[in-house]
């Protein structure tokens, strides 16, 4: 019996190999020409070693699905690599289609930007596909090295006094509602608002769209408020992300901060706590300060705006916060 079974098994094995010879050859050629492990520089000091439901850091740069592609984009941006190349494996037949979908979806890329440190955020990602199947990413980042150095120097001179103020608030406040975390973030929130006005002209020369304009020109759009708050939060050791609603026919889009305190994600929106008033007076509110999602919805209940209607599939961490 063994004399019959063994030859049959061998014959079946050979037949399977012959039937799949093209697929096997393609895999071998692809592995030889395009290594599945691509090293990427993680030396950037603003690399965030956090994984989220929407995107995660990866060490495998051979994609087999759309989520793998998103993780590759995120890791490259998070590592601040200006140029990066990878390849689609033969078995991932929709790879190029999915890459075209991602690279042409400005809203999706905007959300991806919100999970990295502001200093690693980009103004554009250009994706090109060569005839050989090479996918090349060219990324233009928002902040120059000179701007980063100047912002860091200024924050380093400001933050110690703010933290001392928070410590003093903690000593004098006898209620249970004010934790040290609350006070630390509150003094920064108030400092930014007291030293910044909303840039109604949205003038690019003011750089109000990022932290530089908010910190040095004292003018900001929602992006400027949010970036500056995010940098302060990171410097204080708090995990944080930016949250965005993207523009449509009824809205221009909006962005604000979310911070993780004691394993709970809370919202803070400095733009809406620094309202533009008809009497030209400066106001400082805490209506959108360290509130959960239910409280965010409640805060919006008396106004006709959808600027906080974020996509729960992109920010699921905030869904039940």
* 5 in any annotated domain: no
* 255 in any annotated domain: yes
User: According to the model, what pLDDT value does residue 246 have?
Assistant: 75
Task: Give the chain's end-to-end CA distance (angstroms, integer).
Answer: 67
| Cβ neighbour number for residue 230 with a 10 Å cutoff | 25
Q: Are 192 and 270 contacting, i.e. CB atoms less than 8 angstroms apart?
A: yes
H/E stretch holding 74 reads helix 66-78
- Residue 223 belongs to what domain range? 145-318
Shared domain check, 300 and 168: yes
| Cβ neighbour number for residue 262 with a 10 Å cutoff | 7
* 12 in any annotated domain: no
Q: What is the CATH number of the domain that holds 245?
A: 3.10.620
- pLDDT of residue 16 exceeding 50: no
Domain count, the chain: 2
Q: Among 141, 172, 206, where does a domain finish?
A: 141
Shared domain check, 112 and 55: yes
The dihedral through the CA atoms of 139, 140, 141, 147 has a sign that is positive
* 163 in any annotated domain: yes
Q: Given pLDDT bands bounded at 50, 70 and 90, which one contains residue 6?
A: low
The pTM (predicted TM-score) of the whole model is 0.85
DSSP category for residue 145: H
Mean pLDDT of 163-174: 79
* Element counts in the chain: helices (H) and strands (E): 10, 9
Shared domain check, 237 and 124: no
Q: Given pLDDT bands bounded at 50, 70 and 90, which one contains residue 150?
A: very high
User: According to the model, what pLDDT value does residue 41 have?
Assistant: 65
- The tens digit of pLDDT for each residue in 246-294 reads 766 445 689 999 999 999 999 999 999 998 766 667 889 999 999 999 9
Shared domain check, 119 and 185: no
* 207 in any annotated domain: yes
Low-confidence winner among 10-14, 98-102, 196-200 (lowest mean pLDDT): 10-14
- The tens digit of pLDDT for each residue in 27-40 reads 444 444 444 445 66
| DSSP codes of every residue in 147-214 | HHHHHHHHHHHHHHHHHHHHHHHHHH--SSS--HHHHHHHHHHHHHHHT-EE-TT--GGGTTTSHHII
* 14 in any annotated domain: no
* 307 in any annotated domain: yes
* 118 in any annotated domain: yes
Across-strand partners of 136? 85, 128
Q: Given pLDDT bands bounded at 50, 70 and 90, which one contains residue 201?
A: confident
Shared domain check, 306 and 215: yes
User: According to the model, what pLDDT value does residue 67 have?
Assistant: 98
Comparing 253 with 302, which gets the higher pLDDT? 253
Across-strand partners of 307? none
Q: Among 89, 117, 141, where does a domain finish?
A: 141
User: According to the model, what pLDDT value does residue 307 have?
Assistant: 86
User: According to the model, what pLDDT value does residue 247 have?
Assistant: 66
User: According to the model, what pLDDT value does residue 132 have?
Assistant: 81
Question: Alpha-carbon distance 133 to 18, whole Å?
Answer: 26
- The tens digit of pLDDT for each residue in 216-242 reads 999 999 999 999 999 999 999 999 999
Average pLDDT value over all residues in the chain? 86
Strands 254-261 and 219-220: unpaired
User: According to the model, what pLDDT value does residue 131 have?
Assistant: 82
Q: Given pLDDT bands bounded at 50, 70 and 90, which one contains residue 26?
A: very low
- The tens digit of pLDDT for each residue in 87-139 reads 999 999 999 999 999 999 999 999 999 999 999 999 999 999 988 889 999 99
Q: Among 141, 156, 187, where does a domain finish?
A: 141
Residue 107: name the closest of 14, 279, 246 by CA: 246
H/E stretch holding 13 reads helix 2-19
Shared domain check, 159 and 124: no
User: According to the model, what pLDDT value does residue 203 have?
Assistant: 79
């Amino acid at each position: 019996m063994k004399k019959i079974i063994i030859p049959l098994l061998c014959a079946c094995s050979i037949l399977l190999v012959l039937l799949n010879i093209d697929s096997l050859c393609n895999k071998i050629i692809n592995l030889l020409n395009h290594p599945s492990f691509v090293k990427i520089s993680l030396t950037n000091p603003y690399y965030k070693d956090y994984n989220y439901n929407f995107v995660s850091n990866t060490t495998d740069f051979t994609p087999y699905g759309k989520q793998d592609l998103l993780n590759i984009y995120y890791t490259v941006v998070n590592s601040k690599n200006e140029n990066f190349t990878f390849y689609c494996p033969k078995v991932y037949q929709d790879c190029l289609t999915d890459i075209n979908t991602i690279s042409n979806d400005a809203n999706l890329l905007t959300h991806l930007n919100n999970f990295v440190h502001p200093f690693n955020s980009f103004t554009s990602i250009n994706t090109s596909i060569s005839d050989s199947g090479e996918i090349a990413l060219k990324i233009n980042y928002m902040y120059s090295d000179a701007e980063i150095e100047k912002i860091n120097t200024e924050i380093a001179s400001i933050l110690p006094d703010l933290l001392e103020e928070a410590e003093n608030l903690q000593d004098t406040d006898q209620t249970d509602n004010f934790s040290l975390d609350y006070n630390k973030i509150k003094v920064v929130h108030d400092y930014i608002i007291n030293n910044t006005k909303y840039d109604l002209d949205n003038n690019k020369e003011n750089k109000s769209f990022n932290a530089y304009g908010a910190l040095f020109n004292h003018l900001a759009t929602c992006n400027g408020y949010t970036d500056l708050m995010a940098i302060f939060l990171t410097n204080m050791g708090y995990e944080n992300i930016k949250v965005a609603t993207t523009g449509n026919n009824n809205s221009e889009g909006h962005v604000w901060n979310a911070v993780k305190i004691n394993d709970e994600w809370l919202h803070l929106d400095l733009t809406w706590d620094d309202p533009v008033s008809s009497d030209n007076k400066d106001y400082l509110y805490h209506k959108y300060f360290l509130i959960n999602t239910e409280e965010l919805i409640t805060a919006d209940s008396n106004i006709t705006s959808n600027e906080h209607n974020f996509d729960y599939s992109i920010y699921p961490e905030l869904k039940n916060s």
